[in-house]
Amino acid sequence: MRYLLDTGVWLRGVNDVETIPDNALKILQASQEVFGLSSISLWEIGKKVQIGKLSLPKNLPAWYEDALTADINLIPLTPAIVSDAMRLPDFPNRDPADELIVATARIHKLTLFTTDTKLKNYRHARIHYFTPILPKP
């Protein structure tokens, strides 16, 4: 396992694969690759559905079942991850979920695969940023 998927990348990989550029898609579709996913990403997706900011093609439990494929390793929050999240140097935003995701990558020595522009230049973690392709109208 080399990469930790940011919530947005995981969501794109399941629902909007056409918005992922070829170089990033090549990594996501590598046959032997296993990706980490912070358990906080489950909460982020569920919360967006709950407050009406995200619509999924099926109900949440069924979507999770389909989206948590064999190449996804769900990583639980641990005291070490939470502690690291509380001490991230020069963190670029105040999003607690982002803090936990970055801390998960740091603790597990993974590269965070993200489309989050606020995180792309964060120098205290390994980041692989890509710009999504805008969907055609």
Residue 57 pLDDT = 94
Residue 31 pLDDT = 85
Burial class (CB in 10 A: 0-12, 13-18, 19+), 23: exposed
Element (H, E) at 10: helix 7-15
Contact 1, 110 (CB under 8 A): yes
Write down the domain spans for the chain. 5-129
Residue 112 pLDDT = 98
Across the chain, which has 137 residues, the per-10-residue mean pLDDT values are 97 95 95 95 98 96 97 98 97 96 98 97 97 83
Model confidence, pTM: 0.95
The CATH-assigned architecture of domain 5-129 is 3-Layer(aba) Sandwich (3.40)
